[in-house]
């Protein structure tokens, strides 16, 4: 657990030895969960927050007619449920997409960190700010980009975020997400996702076979999706 969290934090700022020790000493339990398993449900008031060690997870919301909107897809290294630390009453559910290894850290331990480690606290805070920035990017894509560009943006984002934790091989990465899931993330219909993905493949921007995605023309894909990784705050600097 220590390593993957340190890795995420060190992409944003240097950590002191004391901070490394504090992180290493964080109490936690590790759980291995099957695919499509709920971790936290909307309305819950959890007492621990989860961090993804491996596998893909997501935040989602169910609306009245049973439709679903995914508001975030999380990859290994993401402190998925850090929001639940201060929010009472979860406004959304969190669940696995694939089988996942997840670490649960008691809120009491996080609170202790905030009491004694101001700099580390700011970095944890920053992680949630990056989540918020990502939400904004999705909003822009959903509101003002056509489906083709919206999906292009998503693929660029996934590549950038998986690269942080070494889960890319050049321009390729595993993205174990069905078209139905993608449609819930993009707010589109599965049929339209299918046709739009075909477009992206036909025009030679990506290939996607099984779970293996390859960005064939990064420049064009980023331009199409108007992707700029700056919102991920991946430049280490004093915070």
User: In the window 158-197, what residues touch DNA (CB under 7 A)?
Assistant: 178-180, 187-192, 194-197
Q: Taking a C-beta distance cutoff of 8 angstroms, is the pair 205, 148 a contact?
A: no
Tell me the two tokens of residue 219.
């420049």
> Pairing mode, if any, of strands 57-62 and 48-54?
unpaired
Tell me the two tokens of residue 196.
């739009």
Task: Give the Cα separation of 102 and 29 in Å (integer).
Answer: 8
Judged by beta carbon distances under 5 to 8 A according to partner kind, the member of its own copies, DNA, none in contact with residue 148 is DNA
Helix (H, G, I), strand (E, B) or coil at 232: helix
Q: Taking a C-beta distance cutoff of 8 angstroms, is the pair 127, 52 a contact?
A: no
Please give the radius of gyration of the chain, using alpha carbons only, rounded to the nearest integer: 18
Neighbours of 117 (CB within 10 A): 17
Query: Minimum distance from CB of 51 to DNA (Å)?
Result: 25
Judged by beta carbon distances under 5 to 8 A according to partner kind, the member of DNA, its own copies, none in contact with residue 194 is DNA
Q: Which is nearer to its own copies, 54 or 226 (CB)?
A: 226
191 binds its own copies (CB under 8 A): no
DSSP single-letter state for residue 47: S
Helix (H, G, I), strand (E, B) or coil at 103: strand
Judged by beta carbon distances under 5 to 8 A according to partner kind, the member of DNA, its own copies, none in contact with residue 34 is none
Helix ranges, 118-208 (H):
118-144, 147-164, 179-186, 190-202
Q: Which is nearer to DNA, 146 or 204 (CB)?
A: 146
61 binds DNA (CB under 7 A): no
Binding mask 133-152 for DNA (x = CB under 7 A): -------------xxx----
232 binds DNA (CB under 7 A): no
How many residues touch its own copies under the rule CB under 8 A: the total is 52
Of residues 37, 54, 98, 114, which one binds its own copies by CB under 8 A? 114
Of residues 14, 30, 36, 136, which one binds its own copies by CB under 8 A? 136
Q: Please, what's the b/e burial string for 1-38 (b: 16 or more CB within 10 A of its CB; e: otherwise)?
A: beebbbebbeebbebeeebeebbeebebeeeebeeeee
187 binds its own copies (CB under 8 A): yes
Q: Which residue has the tokens 């929010």?
A: 87
Q: Which residue has the tokens 């000493």?
A: 25
Interface contacts to DNA, rule CB under 7 A: 146-148, 178-180, 187-192, 194-198
Interface contacts to its own copies, rule CB under 8 A: 43, 59, 61, 63-64, 67-69, 71-72, 83, 86-89, 91-92, 111, 114-116, 118, 121-122, 125-126, 128-133, 135-140, 142-145, 186-188, 226, 230-231, 233, 235, 237, 239
């Amino acid at each position: 657990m220590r390593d993957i969290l340190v890795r995420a934090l060190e992409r944003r700022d240097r950590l002191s030895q004391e901070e490394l020790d504090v992180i290493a000493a964080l109490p936690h339990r590790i759980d291995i969960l099957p695919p499509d398993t709920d971790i936290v449900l909307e309305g819950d008031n959890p007492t621990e927050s989860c961090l993804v060690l491996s596998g893909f997870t997501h935040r989602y919301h169910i609306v009245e007619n049973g439709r679903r909107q995914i508001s975030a897809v999380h990859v290994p290294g993401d402190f998925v449920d850090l929001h639940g630390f201060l929010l009472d009453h979860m406004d959304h559910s969190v669940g696995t997409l694939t089988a996942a290894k997840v670490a649960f850290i008691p809120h009491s331990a996080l609170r202790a960190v905030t009491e004694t480690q101001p700099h580390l606290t700011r970095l944890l805070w920053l992680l949630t700010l990056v989540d918020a920035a990502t939400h904004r990017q999705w909003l822009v894509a959903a509101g003002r980009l056509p489906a083709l560009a919206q999906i292009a943006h998503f693929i660029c984002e996934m590549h950038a975020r998986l690269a942080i934790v070494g889960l890319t091989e050049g321009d390729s990465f595993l993205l174990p997400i069905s078209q139905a899931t993608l449609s819930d993330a993009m707010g589109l219909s599965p049929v339209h996702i299918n046709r739009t993905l075909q477009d992206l493949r036909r025009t030679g921007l990506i290939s996607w076979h099984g779970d293996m995605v390859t960005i064939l023309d990064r420049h064009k894909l980023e331009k199409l999706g108007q992707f700029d990784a700056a919102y991920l705050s991946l430049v280490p600097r004093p915070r």
